[in-house]
Every structure is written in C-alpha cells, then in structure tokens.
Amino acid sequence: MSSTSVKRRPAVWAVTTIAILFGLLTIKSGGSVLFIDGEARVQAGNYLPFVLWFNFMAGFAYLIVGVGLWREERWAAWLAILIAVATLAVFALFALHILDGGSYEQRTVIAMSARSLIWTLIATFAWKSLLKKSTA
C-alpha cells in the first residue's frame, strides 16, 4: 500500500508522528550521553550502559517503523512488535539490576515505563491496522 496518493487516517498520522519524534528525541538524548563528554553525561547520573545503548540504537528503529507505518507496510507492524518486546525485555533486565541492589536513576524507571507503554500501544495499533485486517 505504498502509494503516495493514499489518504491517510488521522490515527496513522498520529502514530507515525509519535514514532518519528520519539526516535529523533531518543537518538539526540542517548547520543549526547554516549558521545559527548559534557553536561548531558553528568546529568544522566547512574545510568546503565546496556539500557542507554539499547535505547539509543532503538531510536533508529523507531524512525524506520515511523516510515513503515506511514507507508502502511506490514513489516513495520512486525518491527514495532519486536521493539515492544525488546523494550520490555530490557526493562525486565533493568528491574533485575535494581532488585540486585544496583544503582539507578528514578527517571530511568519512568522513561522505561513510558517507552514500554508507548511501544506496546504502537505495536498494538500496527498489528490491528496492518496485520489483523489483512488476515481477516
């Protein structure tokens, strides 16, 4: 359904915008901590490198999903589902780190909760819009 003349539903506009903006912000914030030795790194505090690297790299996948959802490509639904599952897995590993007494920042708990919720919602939207309708 990759035609540029297709009229898109408002929900597709909204979800695409969220995925792309979320991706851009994730890449910017993660990249600032990872690659610039400055205020962003100091402000990050007790971050876990594996969580930061996952989120940074996932930011690029967010952009790809945004484009795929815009084009209403089935593969974008599968990638959104993969992102949601991977985010929940990283969040679970992060929780184990906390339960083991590891240092962390409360804002990371909040950010991972938000990421998990947002990507579960995007994956659900993508599944219903692109996968479920094509099998019905």
- Tens digits of residue pLDDT in 4-30: 556 778 899 999 999 999 999 999 999
2 in a structural domain: no
Which residue in 111, 130, 129, 123 sits closest to 85, CA to CA? 123
Handedness of CA 104, 110, 115, 120 (dihedral sign): positive
Domain hosting residue 43, numbered range:
10-135
**Cβ atoms 51, 94 nearer than 8 A:** yes
Q: What is the mean pLDDT of residues 94-107?
A: 96
Worst-scoring range by mean pLDDT, 13-22, 37-46, 99-108, 113-122? 37-46
Say if CB 6 and CB 75 are below 8 A apart.
no
Evaluate whether residue 111 is within a structural domain. yes
In a domain, residue 4? The reply is no
Q: Does residue 56 form part of some domain?
A: yes
Q: pLDDT-derived band of residue 59, with 50, 70 and 90 as boundaries?
A: very high
- Please report whether residue 112 resides in a domain: yes
Higher pLDDT, 77 or 130: 77
In which band, very low, low, confident or very high, does the pLDDT at 3 lie, cut at 50, 70 and 90?
A: very low
